[in-house]
Amino acid sequence: MSGQAYVKNATNILKKVIVCSPKYYVFNAINEITKSWMEKGETEQNEQMIKEWQTLVNAYKDNGVEVVEVKAHKEMEVQTFARDFGAMVREGAIIGKYRHPVRQIETEIYEAKLKELGVPIVARVNAGCFEGGDFWMLDEHTLAFGLVDRTDLAGVDNLREQLEKFGYTVVGVPAAPSNLHLDMIFNIVAEKVCIAAVDELPYNFLQMLKRRKYTIIPVSSELVFKHGCNVQALGNGKVLGIESNTIINKAMEAEGLEVIKLPLKQILKAGGGPHCMTYPVERV
């Protein structure tokens, strides 16, 4: 194992990410957002999704982030949400376990890419489920795991056992399953600054953030399904946000952050934003 530190926290300068094109993305009714669009008769419109996704990739490159692209496979219908196969900590990668069979085939593709990049795997879910959209580093020693729709207690308990040896404390954060992942209702945007759908999060978790001296930017529950919390911190006071989320963008700017506003619209109907589409490999 190399002595390299990969991701020490959620807000250091982002240096390397893994992404995957929505070229073959197919709407699946595995989240409330996509389900509602499918009920309205909406279809994927992959060409439009690719154009929007490319603005995310370009924003990374413009901000000095190395972008590693995983090849999209036609049989992997939800592969563009690169975040979810696992998570990254200081020591290396955590490999998760998807809840839905339609996504389980993605793991080996992403894992092969980690191997190619020389990233060590330091933990692996072998009981229960865990998806990366449920993972946050609250600080360099505290890991929060959402217990929402795709990650269960068995998965979190299993990882707690494996991660304790590195000195990490693992905290479970229960929320209503309709919220899908923790990154839909909570996001760390800068050091000690977070955006949070406060009415969707448990009291104990909010108190934990306050004890840690976080500034909490509140997000209304009605903005959750518009990806109000689904942004990506670049570090250095910059955040990749979504153009249409004007209220949240203004609130982040009021905290002194520079918000790079991505023109995402069609791809959001797939149920994920900038955070969901990004697996962070290195933050320095």
On whether the CB atoms of residues 114 and 68 are closer than 8 A, the answer is no
Answer whether CATH 3.75.10.10 is correct for domain 14-283: yes
Distance (Å, whole) CA 111 – CA 98: 13
Predicted pLDDT of residue 79: 86
Model confidence pLDDT, tens digit, residues 4-50: 899 999 999 999 999 999 998 876 665 666 667 567 777 667 788 89
Tell me the three state secondary structure of residue 129: coil
Q: Where are the alpha helices (DSSP H) in 97-187?
A: 101-104, 107-117, 153-163
In the chain, what are the domain boundaries? Answer: 14-283
* Pairwise pLDDT comparison (30 vs 59), residue with the higher score: 59
Please state, in angstroms and rounded to a whole number, the distance separating the CA atoms of residues 147 and 88.
18
Burial class (CB in 10 A: 0-12, 13-18, 19+), 71: exposed
Say whether pLDDT at 210 is over 90.
Answer: yes
Tokens standing for 234?
Answer: 């670049």
Tell me the average pLDDT across 182-202. 98
Secondary structure of the chain: what % helix, strand, coil (to 5)? 35, 25, 40
Whole-structure pTM value = 0.94
Residues 222-263: tens digit of each pLDDT:
999 999 999 999 999 999 999 999 999 999 999 999 999 999
Residue 16: exposed, middle, or buried by beta-carbon count in 10 A (0-12, 13-18, 19+)? buried
Q: Which two tokens stand for residue 259?
A: 């918000």
DSSP β-ladder status, 66-70 and 86-89: unpaired
Strands 66-70 and 14-20, sheet pairing: parallel
| Backbone torsions φ then ψ of 79, nearest 5 degrees | -65, -20
